[in-house]
Amino acid sequence: MEKRFVYADNAATTRVRPEVLAKMLPYFTEHYGNPSSLYSIGRDSAVAIMQARKTVAECLNCDPNEIIFTSGGSESDNMAIFGIARKRGRGHIITSSIEHHAVLHTVQELEKEGFDVTYLDVDSNGIISLEQLENSIREDTILITVMYANNEIGSIQPVKEIGAIARRHKIPFHTDAVQAAGHLKIDVQQENIDMLSLSAHKFGGPKGTGVLYVRRGVNPKNFILGGGQERGKRAGTENIAGIVGTACALSMALENVDIVSERVSAMRDRLIDGILEKIPYTRLNGGREHRLPGNVNISVEYIEGESLILMLDLNGICASSGSACTTGSLDPSHVLLALGLTHEVAHGSLRLTINDETTDEDIDYILQVMPVVVDRLRAMSPVWENRPDNK
């Protein structure tokens, strides 16, 4: 078997598209003026930001003035959640048990400050219960924050319905859409979204640049203080190249999103079916429906996920065991535990995330290599030898 390089960790980050890089480069060397300056190269930068804001707004179906550029998804999440909480001073927040740590750690910090937090359960497919959400709302509920799509298992939440419940109770609704943006069509008006976070490096844009959409009238308390940038909502000299790259990447990602989604979903399903068929004692985490097009999360019993990742890397395949932000942690995934998996099974999880740059040959290669690697690891494992049905 000839070794090849296969990048299957696009949920962690994506390659910057060449067209995006080409758009960004002039803002490092030629149009480098500070957009707050009055002279011409400063005004050129300000115009570039204005045009990027319009592009992102068109992609999300909102007003350009509702777009705030940030340093990424984590800052956007913090800005939305802390901004609403500290504006109100006290109250009750509702979130889900499978949020990214950028949300979970933020609400946990607020708990230390005296806020109450309800963590919604998910079913075996990783979807929250709308009934539990409705029943969790209190008179002092100040925010609902539920992610659009999960970064580990790819489950897509009923965002429009969540937003409708929030709107009916006059509660701001924030969604972490970092994994969804650029891969799914998002319409903040139709889906009743008040605040939304995204990060450019998840859809072919640069790292270190993100967006927070804030519906007019919501007005979270400012998170970063200093200058008057971003209409006074977020201080700091703007990352012009990153902002330009974000707008370009998001626009490009959505150009043929339906066609791309169909093709990537077909490869995803072939990869899932192939792994489950070729390797015994495996299970798919999360449901097949309401799943991100490129997400595959498989638990492989009787091996450690980290060993599997390292062995796949030796064969040229880049994969992960879950969120890139928790790599190196010895604890099993909180997402998989929320699905009801045991610690032992959760430790053997593998996340493969593909996109429009993935080829059928890449899928074939993974399906060739992975059974061999799993067999080798299990052959070295006393747990495999002592499995219940081998006695």
Bridge partner residues of 300 (DSSP): 282
Q: For residue 148, which of 99, 83, 78 has the smallest C-alpha distance?
A: 99
Contact 302, 381 (CB under 8 A): yes
Instruction: Please report, for residues 202, 203, 269, 293, the alpha-carbon distance to residue 184 in angstroms, rounded to integers and kept in the order given.
Output: 12, 11, 17, 9
Which residues are designated catalytic?
325
Q: For residue 15, give both structure tokens.
A: 């390659």
Q: How far is CA 48 from the centre of its chain?
A: 26
Contact 290, 127 (CB under 8 A): yes
Cα gap 230→187, rounded to integer Å: 22
